[in-house]
Homo-oligomer: A and B are copies of this chain.
Amino acid sequence: MSEIESGALDLEFILDEANKQQKPELRLWLRMLSTTKLISQEIRRRLRAEFSATLPQFDLLAQLYREPDGLRLGELSKRTMVTNGNVTGLVERLEQDGLVKRETPDGDRRVTVARLTERGTEYFSAMAEAHERWLKDLMADVDHATVDTMLTDVNRLKKSAGNHLSGS
């Protein structure tokens, strides 16, 4: 290799490294996106194979699991970040499976409250246990300190994003 070529390569390398540093936010986002896609696909695969469930369904059930008295559909919509109309469809499918039931409370008959059935509670409990196991497994090579750091950092990121949405 000639001196000129060698020099050119070094320069390219330096420029390349400089470029990398120029767009750290973009790089972080692309990396987060591909990472969550990788993990999501794996989790989706296992949820489907072992529980015939989807990720949005799991998410919705998790919200109800925390609220024994159930949640209004509007509140469910906010917490799952799914539009009102689509929450209706999600809940309907889960109701057909016997995991969720809908009730209209006395007082305001416009309101619909969704809550887990007994079967839904048992079923989600098993799902949650498996889900936790899968996550521990997938993150096995990440040390505890890093996990803790990431917990804090991701929270900062979420707050920042929340503060800069179109509607705010």
A14 at the interface (CB under 8 A from B): no
Known: A31-B154, A141-B156, A141-B159. 5 other contacts (CB 8 A): A26-B136, A31-B151, A45-B166, A142-B156, A149-B153
The one of B24, B59, B142, B160 that contacts A151, using a Cβ cutoff of 8 Å: B24
Bound Cα distance A62, B24 (Å): 17
Whether the Cβ atoms of B31 and A139 lie closer than 8 Å is no
Shortest beta-carbon distance, A145 to chain B, in Å? Answer: 10
Give the interface size bracket for A toward B: 35 or more
A32 at the interface (CB under 8 A from B): yes
How many copies of this chain does one complex carry? Answer: 2
Main secondary structure of the interface of A (DSSP, over half): helix
A42 at the interface (CB under 8 A from B): yes
Shortest beta-carbon distance, A144 to chain B, in Å? Answer: 7
Query: 20 A-B contacts, Cβ less than 8 Å apart?
Result: A24-B147, A25-B135, A25-B136, A25-B139, A26-B131, A26-B132, A31-B155, A32-B32, A32-B35, A33-B36, A33-B59, A35-B154, A37-B81, A42-B165, A137-B164, A138-B161, A138-B165, A140-B163, A142-B153, A142-B157
